[in-house]
Amino acid sequence: MRVDVGTGLLDEARYVPSPNCDERPDAEISVLVIHGISLPPGEFGGPFIEELFTNCLQPDAHPYFAEICSLQVSSHVLIRRDGEVVQFVPFHMRAWHAGESHYAGRSRCNDFSIGIELEGADDIEYAPVQYERLEQVARALIEAYPLLHAERIVGHCDISPGRKTDPGPTFDWAALRSRLSVA
């Protein structure tokens, strides 16, 4: 898997453009943020994550959707339970994934981070294939963006403590770090 730095796209991802992005300020990409998402909460599969990130989520499709259908959010990448990689925002653009956030004394993490959503929930283990694909995506990003490295991979919970809990306690950080430390 590789990143085309000219287009900001992964060569092995299905591209579904999100309107919820904009130009980055003069800030180099230096952090990778791991998220967890399921729509409806605790349910997997279906079109709803893509619909949310492309502003097409219908409020009457599920009772929870009425609360969130007007949000304008996105992520750079989604890794589904079956390992499919979907890209919504080119990496050189700012995706709207982190919200109010801080990392290493800097605020506005969207400015300098890449957001990766894993289809999952805080209290449900992620699928082994998701870790495999996450490793592949992370390696491609580390190769493409010189300020990224394994120590700069954090959870949404780390940059927005008290506000966010994902990817949750079931996410196996040790396994990810071990995978990335092996060449």
pLDDT at 182: 54
Across the 183 residues of the chain, what is the mean pLDDT of every consecutive 10-residue run?
97 98 94 98 96 97 96 98 98 97 96 98 96 98 96 96 96 93 61
φ, ψ at 178 (rounded to 5°): -65, -45
- The CATH number assigned to the domain holding 155 equals 3.40.80.10
Mind telling me the catalytic residues?
117
Does residue 46 lie within any of the structural domains? no
Does residue 104 lie within any of the structural domains? yes
φ, ψ at 46 (rounded to 5°): 85, 175
Q: Which residues pair with 94 in a beta bridge?
A: 22
Domain count of the fold of the chain: 1
pLDDT at 181: 85
Does residue 17 lie within any of the structural domains? yes
Complete DSSP assignment for 7-66: TTEETTSEE---SSEEE--S----EEEEEEE-SSTT---SSHHHHHHTT---TTSSTTHH
Q: Which domain holds residue 160?
A: 3-37+75-181
Does residue 49 lie within any of the structural domains? no
pLDDT at 183: 45
Does residue 62 lie within any of the structural domains? no
